[in-house]
């Protein structure tokens, strides 16, 4: 930290009080997977289901944060690392606010995902692997990115010209490549219920 004179202010309204008011615990759900694997789609669908259950939520979407918070970053390995560091720090603040945060980011490197996980030392970070292979993602290609990557118009594109390191031990791996969206949502909701984040 470059600022030497900043002192953390402890709020009188605590995370525990906010969670009690919300009637659920706060947690960070980290959706990772190849481009087009359904991370954002699943995150927003899970949020809709949680909203129906009267939970307080917020989605941090990879594309959206690059319109502001991370608008100065590119897609080099160092920029990707800084992108995730910033989002992880936002996630920490959201955790204190008592909400369920759903973060949807390719986050291709294990070491970067582990760095973010280490920001949450008390089992408050759930890695959700959206398991769809390149063929399935390329078949969808709703944004046309795979086609442009194949043509060399997009450099450092994960899955084509840049690697993706699969999670070794995620909290859950969801088969977004072949399962229905509804089935994937149910798996995530069941995980949250089993871990006591939300009530059944």
DSSP per-residue codes, 109-141:
-HHHHHHHHTT-TTT-EEEEEE---HHHHHHH-
CA angle 131, 166, 148 (to 5 degrees): 75
Active-site position among 107, 161, 178, 180: 107
d(CA 149, CA 134): 13
* Contact between residue 51 and residue 149 where contact means Cβ atoms under 8 Å apart: no
Place of tokens 């359904």: 38
Residue 99 in tokens: 């909400």
d(CA 81, CA 88): 10
The number of CA neighbours under 13 Å toward the Cβ of 118 is 7
Catalytic residue status for 26: no
Catalytic residues: 107
């Amino acid at each position: 930290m470059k600022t030497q004179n900043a002192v953390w202010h402890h709020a009188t309204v605590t995370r525990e009080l906010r969670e009690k008011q919300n009637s659920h615990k706060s947690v960070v759900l980290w959706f990772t997977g190849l481009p087009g694997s359904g991370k954002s789609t699943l995150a927003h669908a899970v949020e809709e289901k949680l909203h129906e259950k009267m939970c307080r939520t917020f989605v941090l979407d990879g594309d959206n944060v690059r319109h502001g918070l991370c608008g100065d970053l590119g897609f080099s390995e160092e920029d990707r690392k800084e992108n995730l560091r910033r989002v992880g720090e936002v996630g920490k603040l959201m955790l204190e606010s008592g909400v369920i945060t759903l973060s949807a980011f390719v986050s291709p490197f294990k070491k970067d995902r582990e760095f973010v996980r280490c920001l949450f030392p008390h089992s408050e970070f759930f890695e959700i692997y959206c398991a769809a292979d390149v063929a399935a993602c390329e078949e969808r290609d709703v944004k046309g990115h795979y086609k442009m990557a194949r043509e060399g118009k997009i450099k450092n594109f994960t899955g084509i010209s840049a690697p993706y390191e699969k999670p070794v031990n995620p909290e859950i791996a969801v088969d977004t490549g072949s399962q229905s969206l509804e089935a994937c949502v149910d798996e995530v909701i069941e995980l949250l219920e089993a871990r006591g984040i939300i009530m059944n």
